[in-house]
Chain A
């Protein structure tokens, strides 16, 4: 009996909450939030609330074209591959309480790994489209990957270092005990947000899909439902990355100071706090998109290796110093 309940619960987690259905709507909402803020900062009105949903439905209903020269198998399987990758990652991130649906020691590495899948999917998508622009985009995607991934990993592993655990839920429960540690992680937070912008391939780090240079990069040949899945994947990736950063650096669904009350209200409150914190991260990402110009791919690499990586090493050294002095035992 309890096994069946467990299986049903797992299906529920995977498909409804916090899995597919929640991510679908929250991802679309985040796109709306991003676009609306972007428009407001440009003194415009911006899209209506249902806009991302309308885009998604419309794309599903459009004609599906596979270019004659493209590798048909790869071309069609890659979007699903990327989509499945990001969807799995949510299960390890705490959303309404300090522990996630699934967790084990080292799930942080698994999540970080799952979040790199879309970049590779994008590379394959671009490469197998056999369009010149998409191939340039594909090569740039991978080039950029080597730039931002190292500082992003470093920044995300910094909390793990200071908390002494490699599980996201573990880090979060440690944070609840000692919230003052987060002050030490401000530098890592900034690095994580900047490299996240590069990971999501948005301005100023959108060289792989630069609209005015290579006409949209890897996705130039994609139409219809495959494009819809890719776009949804980007939105969900943004949500999950924001959630990860929230969990690692902002205390996830925990409200400081904690409000006493029944468990149910605590969960609900935690969920609301989680939403607000992720929206704050999305707001930071939108702000960056608004006020910067695109940098070239070589300048991006220079920036990552010249600034972000040294800074994240400085952060590491600081944390090691703090730990060895025994201030946080």
Chain B
């Protein structure tokens, strides 16, 4: 077969979200890959400037539906630092507990999706069934399955009642058992190993070069974890291990995620057992003093970074989000090369991509599809400013 370019996406059964890969293949082997992001570029950073800090919690929560707690915590932490609020201990513990439950649900979700990409639907069904245990806990604690809305500036909105502890421990126990089963199953089943072992190889030096984060980096033997390096919330008081793997392939990423789930269960148990008493939130004002801050958070997918600049009003002057998936894209393009068409979905899925987090550039397709124009950050910024001048802010400024 001559060299052809296969479009993968924006609507493709392997990708649940819009993104477009132009993969050049020679027969079944990939020679090159190009990536068009930003089918879901919405302009959140710009919109955030016209919403109050309180409203922005709910806006940034909806940057990504899977790691919604990541975004709110990261944002709220920054704002709290600007305001100089000391969050009560109990609030931090609950925040951390929700974060770890989210990590469990996100990793289980990933395991299932990875199974689906290699046609292993039974694994998909089982992991998603067991993920419901984590979601039940989240619903019980926060009131919603996804987009929990538990964070607020100065603490958390919902308390953990005494009766909840038993159920949390019970479900955590069940989850631990299931995670152990999946680890044993996935690392010994030949058909899985055939697809995962040695595929999507990303050596350590390349991973460093591409600044990979999270499980992708840890599977390439780079011990990086914000929870260890720069502890936030209650992580300083928790006893957990940093998981790395030196296999540098998809199997390594699978093992890292599985082990992390075990660690998360361990942490959740510690958090519940040592839950301090006291208030869950500190009183807060709606005005944020002028200043700027960078906040870091270890999302299930890697390091998430927020920059908040305040000018002393109700509204942030600038909000900048660097979501974790964004840092991992170059590594994907690197690890695609040299593998087969059949490996495309799995390699893309291996970083646990989250397209809605990453949309920074818009690529304009002309009608005939031949010409492409890249709209970069600067263009979008000026475009956004112009748009808002024409359409108005949509929010009543006080």
Q: Which residue of B lies closest to A42 (CB)?
A: B125
> Of B6, B115, B191, which one neighbours A132 at CB under 8 angstroms?
B6
Q: Which residue of B lies closest to A206 (CB)?
A: B119
- List of A residues within 8 angstroms of B14 by Cβ: 212-213
Interface residues on A, range: 20 to 34
Q: A204-B191, A213-B14, A215-B13 are in contact. Are A296 and B121 (CB under 8 A)?
A: no
Within 8 A of B (CB), among A36-60: 41-44
A211 to B341, CA, bound (A): 13
B263 at the interface (CB under 8 A from A): no
B387 at the interface (CB under 8 A from A): no
A297 to B116, CA, bound (A): 17
Q: A42-B126, A207-B342, A293-B195 are in contact. Are A212 and B119 (CB under 8 A)?
A: yes
A214 at the interface (CB under 8 A from B): yes
Q: A41-B122, A43-B129, A203-B121 are in contact. Are A295 and B344 (CB under 8 A)?
A: no
B64 at the interface (CB under 8 A from A): no
Asked if residues A139 and B1 are in contact (CB atoms below 8 Å), the reply is yes
B4 at the interface (CB under 8 A from A): yes
Within 8 A of A (CB), among B88-127: 115-123, 125-126
Asked if residues A296 and B191 are in contact (CB atoms below 8 Å), the reply is no
B194 at the interface (CB under 8 A from A): yes
Q: A41-B122, A203-B119, A213-B14 are in contact. Are A294 and B1 (CB under 8 A)?
A: no
- Spell out B's residues near A (CB within 8 Å): 1, 4, 6-7, 12-14, 28, 115-123, 125-126, 129, 189, 191-192, 194-195, 340-345
Asked if residues B13 and A295 are in contact (CB atoms below 8 Å), the reply is no
Asked if residues B345 and A212 are in contact (CB atoms below 8 Å), the reply is yes
Within 8 A of B (CB), among A289-311: 290-299
The smallest C-beta distance from A80 to any residue of chain B, in angstroms, reads 28
The 8 closest A-B pairs by CB, nearest first: A294-B119, A293-B120, A212-B14, A42-B125, A293-B191, A293-B118, A296-B342, A292-B191
> Of B12, B125, B126, B195, which one neighbours A295 at CB under 8 angstroms?
B195
- List of B residues within 8 angstroms of A214 by Cβ: 341
A136 at the interface (CB under 8 A from B): yes
A171 at the interface (CB under 8 A from B): no
A210 at the interface (CB under 8 A from B): yes
Q: Please, could you name 8 A-B residue pairs with CB atoms under 8 Å apart, sorted by A?
A: A42-B121, A43-B126, A44-B125, A210-B119, A212-B14, A215-B13, A292-B191, A295-B194
- List of B residues within 8 angstroms of A210 by Cβ: 119, 342
- List of A residues within 8 angstroms of B6 by Cβ: 132-133, 136
- List of A residues within 8 angstroms of B4 by Cβ: 132
A216 to B116, CA, bound (A): 14
- List of A residues within 8 angstroms of B126 by Cβ: 42-43
The smallest C-beta distance from B352 to any residue of chain A, in angstroms, reads 16
- List of A residues within 8 angstroms of B189 by Cβ: 293
A293 to B13, CA, bound (A): 17
Q: Give the most central of A42, A44, A293: most B CB within 10 Å.
A: A293
- List of B residues within 8 angstroms of A44 by Cβ: 125
The smallest C-beta distance from B16 to any residue of chain A, in angstroms, reads 11
- List of A residues within 8 angstroms of B121 by Cβ: 42, 203
Asked if residues A292 and B13 are in contact (CB atoms below 8 Å), the reply is no
